[in-house]
């Protein structure tokens, strides 16, 4: 298309909008009322306009969480909202008082390190967002400064009312009202990929009144006043008026150019700024996603509170004991605890003030026992999760090379939740399928055409065990069905009766001609002719529409040119047998929307006839046929049902001739409705179109195939083997959804189907009566009855797998408050659930019902804007970066390019992340309880005098340096089994679903292990060192020696326990585990070499006392072994006699039985939960030879 100005053509007559000198009914006007108060004074340069006084925001956009001024206070507030951090802040403040058993610096420094690390992480993330903001805000645009002169300014300086000039391939800097363009008729083409992800071009057109602005100088005297709606998030709606040259014009979305969309195929446009900055529609739509926290994180908080309870209980009991003992310290002249100096004490040990002393001891104990709480746990988990997401993002097995799209974890909060998914709720189109349509069959004049075989038909034939012979070839053995073998993308039609012009010999050749003419004309596609090759490609609004235009072209009806008022195409003339060029005058396009379910064009053909060409869904089209237009209705309906059975998407094609009077009456009414600025504008438009889209003559039906994505059946089968329930929520017809279910392995032969619909005779009778109350009542009772009947079927057998299929109408009643729980009970008992004809709202409601009703973790996966509610409602939302755009991706937690990558994401990364985080948290509590136990026992040993066992810096650095890094390495690198075994034994995933690794029994088990280890360490060290002589000179071990020895044993035990718990060693884990122990000795050397004012009790304690004494090394060796023996014995017995599922797989690997199919299959049968429906229903059925054998094995275990 050209870039210069063309001959003036009135494109406004084509589309369903009329943008000329519009009139509107003042009675319907909302302008100036609530929600419609914005007034924009255009081009008011050099004066203070009234718009400026209304203080509209500037065009600066900020997506950051912090500003330089708010970062410190806001970030600190975020950190100290966590109860553990707040507790350590309080203890840090108290450490400056005499109550503290250690120095203030040693208490504050670890807190500063932990809080600082988290703040640095948040600061870096926010800085990345700030860099993006800076780049966007400083983009350049030409702005009119007066006198027809434009200057280049930054986006952030724009104000409401400014006139800007945007050139080809530039982004719009704000929401603009289109004034004019380089085209004569003031149209422009816009790409909205950044808004909705769609790459097809949208057509916009200015008012006729402003289209006379031809060049820069024309703007020198341009003045106008715009009154319009207030800022809102509706991308596809805009209501306003423009007062220009003392005339008023109605404005529509067709004049609105949205920020972040791009100007394409147009040299330049002039526009006036309507909304700026955070008032723009794209920013209004960028609401924050709901906050999601994983179940493990919530349980971890509960454990922290439990430890706080234990801490307070220990402090309370110790303080009571201390108060009683202090009261008894002075027994006449005799002092029981003379070393505390009770006779000289002011308060802390004063027997005369024992209650006060007990209270002060309680505060001291709270400080001393604070090491029971892992201060570095939160920041360590955040580090681990970020590193886990990096591994997910860089997994080459989840990289889609064709689209150059890797997996992208958009949040790091939920990685372990990936390993606990109980139910997957999936969209179909674009998620399970490619959303890349192929024209494969059609029905014309009651005759079915098209020899192609769909994937669903192949699956059905395979299911029935019968050959599928087409053109003498068995299609089951035909592997040439891949997209790459298609000569023309979007076209997979084979039928010698139609192709190569042979359609002219068919009995109803005139109907066939009208059919393909309709496909070539009834659309909004834009042709793009390659100047070098002459090849024509099409920019279409949907893959379906592109497939129709391509099919028409391939069958001899080539659409090649669109002007503002005409559509041109080449076709084969049946009489002359030559290709002829035809041009139809395009009068109106009645656009498609989800409510109308159809689109029409009104054209005048080359003979002067007025034609309305219409295509739409069968649910609305058959009702609009004229009595004399139903000749082929019955056979067409039969073909449409057959196409639905084959998993195809169908549309009905029909037409009618209009008289001049009919068209004139329609056009006047339609134009008036379009120009109306009122709340019922859409209703008025629908009324106008209803009157003309009737009395149609049926031509036939199209059928396009949306192919399954590669690997979908295998992925669903593997997820089902993992025991994950899979629900499909689709807008397709029930027959289509069922057959797609069979094709993708969601349904299998032998499954009992429970179908809930509203097609019973009593429902049909009620609908004919027209009484909505009666219809609603009868429908609800019918749905309830069917649900109860389904539950009865389910309870009658414990071995047969069931699938539940329900349509949208029934689902609306099933989601009522008094029925939904019964419906959920039925659904969760089924292996597969398919909800057909589901609306976006129903998808979200079903997701909420499953999440809240089962209490289990849910995952929603989709690719379109209609899936956003479902993704945000689920515990985890997965966006498919596919054909439908980026709305789902932008609302998701994790984005992947293909559905099949879900298998690796869940079964490998999900399992690993869940296991790593669970083990890491348990280990954190273990090592802190070991440490806290020794601190408590020593204080008890010292008569609860508040004396710590260790030097101040020993206390402070235990969590931060000596034991944290091994835990982080465990959280990042550990693998109980390899990725190959995760996929080979999918049931391993059930460990996460049932939360076997983070249930209370395991958590308390680790805590008990920590208590045992700490107790063993303390008493063995005390008995070994006191009161025996410690060195050759006969000196006994003092407090500093005993403390350092116990601490050495604690560090060794904590790190060796990690070595025992790790399943998969890497070099990094070796470095961190043994490096933690080595760092302790290096710290003793360095810290002990410092002056006594700094090192205090640690002064040269290692070089002069510990290292030279053989007893120190002997005690360390035997104590460490003794402390680890209980865990080692427990694990040995468990692994040998009571192995968990991952333990059995480890035995397979250890014993080399990985290639023994019989042994491997035996282990596969050892499901953690033998009643897992998905496994029983689907995975066993893969091998017919094992099917009955496996059922016999599992039947006795059913409950």
Catalytic residue ranges: 427
What CA–CA distance (Å, rounded) separates 214 from 235? 29
Angle, nearest 10°, between helix axes 377-393 and 83-94?
Answer: 140
Residue 18 near residue 674 (C-beta atoms within 8 A): yes
Q: How far is CA 434 from CA 429, 438, 606, 714, 742, in A?
A: 7, 10, 39, 16, 17
Supply the DSSP string of 108-141, one letter for each residue.
Answer: HHHHHHHHHHHHHHHHHHHHHHHHHHHHHHT-EE
What CA–CA distance (Å, rounded) separates 1136 from 1113? 33
Integer Rg of the chain from CA: 38
Structure tokens at 105: 């610096």
What CA–CA distance (Å, rounded) separates 484 from 491? 12
Structure tokens at 611: 């034609």
Count CB-CB contacts under 10 A for residue 1117.
12
Residue 239 near residue 251 (C-beta atoms within 8 A): yes
CA dihedral 303, 306, 312, 313 (to 10 degrees): -140
Residue 123 near residue 71 (C-beta atoms within 8 A): yes
Structure tokens at 520: 């070539």
What CA–CA distance (Å, rounded) separates 163 from 165? 7
Q: How far is CA 820 from CA 240, 501, 816, in A?
A: 43, 56, 6
Q: How far is CA 322 from CA 236, 350, 368, in A?
A: 73, 11, 15
Dihedral over Cα of 90, 93, 97, 102: its sign: positive
Q: What backbone phi and psi angles, to 5 degrees, belong to 201? A: -85, 140
Q: Taking the mean position of all CA atoms in its chain, how far away is CA 23?
A: 45
What CA–CA distance (Å, rounded) separates 322 from 609? 105
Structure tokens at 546: 């592109």
User: Integer distance in angstroms from the first to the last C-alpha of the chain?
Assistant: 70
What CA–CA distance (Å, rounded) separates 894 from 905? 10
Q: What angle do CA 851, 854, 859 make, to 5 degrees?
A: 40
What CA–CA distance (Å, rounded) separates 991 from 986? 10
Query: CB under 8 Å to 1101, separation ≥6 — which residues?
Result: 1040, 1041, 1044, 1084, 1088
Report the relative pairing of strands 473-474 and 876-880 from DSSP bridges.
unpaired
User: CA nearest 176: which of 84, 6, 40?
Assistant: 40
Q: What backbone phi and psi angles, to 5 degrees, belong to 1125? A: -60, -45
Query: CB under 8 Å to 615, separation ≥6 — which residues?
Result: 518, 522, 548, 598, 599, 600, 621, 651, 652, 653, 654, 702
What CA–CA distance (Å, rounded) separates 1029 from 10? 107
Residue 616 near residue 598 (C-beta atoms within 8 A): yes
Q: What backbone phi and psi angles, to 5 degrees, belong to 402? A: -60, -40
**Residue listed under structure tokens 């120095």:** 103
Helices and strands: H and E segment counts in the chain: 41, 37
By the 10 Å C-beta count (0-12 exposed, 13-18 middle, 19+ buried), 332 is classed as: exposed
């Amino acid at each position: 298309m050209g870039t210069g100005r063309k001959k003036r053509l009135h494109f406004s007559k084509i589309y369903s909008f009329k943008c000329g000198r519009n009139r509107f009914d003042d009675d319907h006007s909302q302008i100036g009322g609530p929600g419609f108060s914005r007034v924009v004074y255009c081009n008011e340069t050099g004066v203070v306009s009234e718009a400026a006084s209304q203080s509209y925001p500037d065009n600066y956009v900020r997506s950051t969480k912090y500003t330089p001024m708010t970062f410190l206070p806001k970030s600190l507030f975020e950190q100290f909202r966590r109860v553990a951090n707040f507790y350590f802040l309080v203890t840090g403040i108290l450490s400056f008082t005499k109550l503290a058993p250690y120095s203030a610096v040693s208490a504050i420094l670890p807190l500063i390190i932990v809080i600082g690390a988290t703040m640095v992480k948040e600061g870096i993330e926010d800085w990345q967002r700030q860099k993006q903001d800076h780049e966007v805000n400083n983009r350049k645009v030409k702005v009119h400064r007066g006198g027809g002169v434009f200057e280049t300014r930054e986006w952030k300086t724009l104000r409401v009312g400014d006139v800007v000039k945007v050139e080809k391939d530039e982004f719009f800097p704000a929401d603009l009202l289109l004034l004019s363009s380089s085209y004569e008729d003031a149209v422009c083409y816009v790409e909205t990929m950044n808004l909705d992800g769609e790459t097809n071009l949208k057509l916009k057109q200015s008012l006729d009144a402003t289209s006379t602005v031809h060049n820069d100088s024309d703007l020198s005297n341009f003045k106008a006043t715009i009154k319009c709606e207030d800022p809102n998030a509706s991308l596809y709606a805009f209501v306003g008026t423009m007062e220009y040259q003392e005339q008023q014009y109605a404005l529509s979305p067709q004049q609105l150019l949205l920020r972040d969309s791009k100007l394409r195929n147009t040299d330049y446009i002039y526009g006036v700024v309507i909304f700026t900055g955070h008032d723009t529609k794209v920013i209004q739509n960028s609401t924050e996603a709901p906050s999601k926290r994983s179940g493990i994180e919530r349980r971890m908080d509960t454990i922290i509170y439990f430890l706080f309870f234990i801490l307070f209980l220990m402090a309370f009991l110790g303080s009571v004991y201390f108060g009683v003992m202090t009261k008894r310290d002075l027994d006449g002249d005799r002092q029981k605890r003379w070393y505390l100096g009770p006779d000289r004490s002011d308060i802390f040990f004063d027997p005369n003030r024992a209650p006060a002393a007990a209270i002060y001891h309680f505060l001291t104990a709270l400080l001393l026992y604070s090491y029971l709480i892992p201060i570095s746990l939160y920041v360590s988990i955040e580090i681990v999760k970020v590193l886990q997401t990096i591994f997910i993002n860089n997994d080459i097995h989840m990289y889609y090379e064709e689209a150059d799209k890797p997996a992208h974890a958009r949040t790091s909060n939920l990685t372990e939740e990936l390993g606990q998914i109980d139910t997957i709720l999936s969209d179909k189109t674009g998620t399970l399928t490619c959303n890349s349509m192929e024209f494969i069959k059609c029905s014309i004049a009651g005759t079915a055409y098209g020899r192609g075989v769909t994937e669903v038909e192949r699956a059905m034939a395979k299911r029935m065990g019968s050959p599928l012979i087409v053109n003498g070839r068995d299609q089951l053995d035909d592997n040439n069905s891949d997209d790459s073998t298609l000569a023309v993308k979007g076209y997979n039609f084979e039928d010698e009766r139609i192709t190569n012009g042979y359609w002219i010999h068919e009995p109803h050749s005139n109907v066939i001609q009208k059919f393909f003419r309709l496909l070539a004309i009834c659309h909004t596609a834009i042709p793009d002719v390659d100047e070098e090759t002459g090849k024509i490609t099409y920019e279409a609004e949907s893959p379906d529409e592109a497939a129709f235009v391509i099919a028409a072209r391939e069958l001899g009806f080539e659409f090649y040119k669109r002007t503002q008022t005409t559509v041109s195409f080449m076709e084969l003339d049946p009489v002359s047998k030559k290709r002829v060029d035809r041009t139809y005058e395009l009068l109106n396009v009645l656009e498609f929307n989800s409510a109308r379910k159809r689109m029409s064009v009104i054209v005048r053909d080359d003979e002067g006839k007025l034609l309305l060409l219409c295509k739409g869904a069968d649910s609305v089209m058959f009702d609009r046929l004229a009595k004399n237009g139903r000749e082929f209705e019955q056979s067409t309906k039969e073909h449409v049902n057959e196409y639905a059975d084959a998993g195809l998407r169908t549309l009905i094609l029909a037409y009618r001739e209009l008289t001049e009077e009919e068209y004139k009456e329609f056009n006047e009414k339609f134009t008036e409705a379009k120009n109306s600025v009122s709340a019922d504008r859409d209703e008025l438009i629908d009324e106008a179109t209803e009157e003309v889209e009737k009395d149609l003559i049926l031509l036939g039906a199209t059928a396009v195939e949306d192919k399954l994505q590669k690997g979908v059946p295998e992925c669903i089968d593997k997820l089902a083997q993992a025991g994950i329930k899979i629900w499909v929520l689709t807008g397709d017809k029930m027959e289509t959804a069922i057959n797609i279910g069979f094709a993708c392995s969601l349904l299998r032969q032998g499954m009992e189907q429970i179908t809930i619909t509203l097609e019973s005779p009593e429902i049909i009778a009620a609908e004919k009566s027209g009484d909505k109350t009666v219809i609603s009542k009868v429908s609800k009772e019918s749905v309830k009855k069917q649900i109860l009947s389904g539950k009865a079927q389910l309870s009658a057998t414990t071995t047969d797998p069931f699938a539940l299929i329900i349509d949208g109408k029934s689902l609306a009643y099933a989601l009522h408050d008094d029925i939904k729980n019964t419906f959920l009970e039925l659904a969760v008992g089924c292996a597969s659930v398919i909800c057909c004809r589901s609306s976006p709202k129903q998808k979200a409601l079903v997701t909420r019902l499953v999440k809240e009703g089962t209490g289990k973790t849910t995952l929603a996966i989709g690719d379109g804007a209609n899936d956003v509610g479902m993704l945000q409602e689920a515990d985890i939302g997965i966006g498919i970066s596919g054909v439908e755009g980026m709305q789902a991706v932008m609302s998701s937690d994790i984005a992947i390019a293909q559905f099949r990558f879900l298998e690796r994401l869940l079964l490998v990364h999900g399992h690993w992340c869940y296991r790593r985080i669970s083990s890491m948290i348990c280990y954190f509590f273990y090592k802190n309880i070991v440490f806290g136990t020794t601190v408590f026992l020593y204080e008890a040993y010292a008569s609860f005098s508040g004396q710590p066992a260790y030097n101040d810096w020993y206390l402070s650095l235990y969590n931060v340096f000596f034991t944290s890094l091994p835990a982080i390495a465990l959280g990042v690198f550990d693998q109980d089994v390899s990725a190959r075994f995760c996929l080979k034994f999918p049931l391993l995933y059930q460990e996460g679903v049932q939360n076997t690794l983070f249930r209370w029994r395991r958590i308390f088990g680790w805590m008990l292990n920590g208590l045992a280890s700490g107790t063993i360490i303390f008493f063995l060290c005390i008995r070994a060192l006191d009161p025996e002589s410690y060195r050759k000179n006969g000196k006994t071990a003092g407090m500093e020696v005993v403390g350092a020895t116990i601490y050495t044993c604690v560090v060794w035990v904590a790190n060796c326990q990690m070595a025992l718990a790790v399943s998969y060693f890497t070099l990094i884990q070796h470095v961190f585990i043994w490096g933690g122990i080595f760092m302790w000795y290096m710290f003793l050397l360095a810290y002990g070499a410092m002056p006594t004012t700094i090192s205090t009790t640690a002064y040269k304690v290692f070089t002069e006392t510990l290292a030279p004494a053989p007893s120190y090394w002997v005690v360390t060796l035997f104590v460490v072994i003794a402390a680890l023996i209980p865990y080692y014995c427990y694990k040995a017995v468990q692994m040998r006699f009571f192995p968990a599922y991952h333990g059995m797989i480890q035995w397979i690997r250890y014993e080399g039985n990985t290639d023994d199919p019989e042994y491997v299959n035996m282990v596969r049968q050892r499901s953690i939960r033998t009643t897992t429906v998905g496994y029983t229903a689907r995975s066993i059925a893969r091998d017919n030879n094992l099917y009955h054998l496996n059922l016999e094995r599992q039947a006795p275990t059913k409950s």
